[in-house]
Chains A and B, each alone.
Chain A
Amino acid sequence: DAGITQSPRHKVTETGTPVTLRCHQTENHRYMYWYRQDPGHGLRLIHYSYGVKDTDKGEVSDGYSVSRSKTEDFLLTLESATSSQTSVYFCATSWVSYEQYFGPGTRLTVT
């Protein structure tokens, strides 16, 4: 498996506070993705990146922003967290083969 770590693994925050989740990879994969997983909705793409400083929106991007200043790091920011953003967040990476490798996930609770 690709070396993908996510931090933090668990976070509880209050409504209205900013939150940043980090994804770090050691495989030099070009593409990186942020998904969220909720009961009844499966995995949904939030944002993805196809290179340093190159990002694009996914299916559920409202309320989220991303940044990728280095190949190995992809940050997901919730500018002002809401309860609807309580979820499990997964980062994934891939190279040209389109086989995505997922990180262990971050469980975020917004109270």
Chain B
Amino acid sequence: DAKTTQPTSMDCAEGRAANLPCNHSTISGNEYVYWYRQIHSQGPQYIIHGLKNNETNEMASLIITEDRKSSTLILPHATLRDTAVYYCIVRDVSSGSARQLTFGSGTQLTVLP
């Protein structure tokens, strides 16, 4: 699976959009981009994933650049409860078998009141 690079930490004002970047310059054609987050002392939570088109769900939007070498997770109206470590994971799911998720260091997002 391709390696990802994320900033160590970011701050965001409550009510504003939080834009979390991820660089995955070595991504291959079969690899999806996944985002998870982990709120302190809880298990990781799936947020969203995509291949090459932008995706949106009730939690967030995922913007993937045309060359697929980077992506941005957008939380449109951040709340204090969105304070968490956000993980960007690139994963090849073409094999059809269960494989582990490789969690890097992630980005600590702190939403400020």
By a beta-carbon cutoff of 8 Å, the part of chain A in contact with chain B is 1, 30-31, 33, 35, 42-43, 45, 48-50, 58-59, 90, 92, 94, 98-105
Contacts and interface: CB of A to CB of B under 8 A. Distances in A.
Interface stretch (B12-20, B40-48, B63-71): B40-48
Nearest to A51: B98
B100 A45 contact: yes
Q: Which of B41, B43, B97, B106 has the most CB of A within 10 A?
A: B43
Contact of A99 (B46, B98, B100, B103): B46
Contact of B42 (A35, A98, A105): A105
B43 A50 contact: no
Interface of B: 32, 34, 41-46, 49, 91, 93, 97-98, 100-101, 103-106
A101 B46 contact: yes
A94 B98 contact: yes
Which 8 pairs, one residue from A and one from B, show the smallest C-beta to C-beta distance? A102-B43, A45-B100, A43-B103, A31-B98, A42-B103, A99-B46, A50-B98, A102-B44
Given A98-B93, A99-B49, A105 B100 contact: no
A20 to B, nearest CB: 19
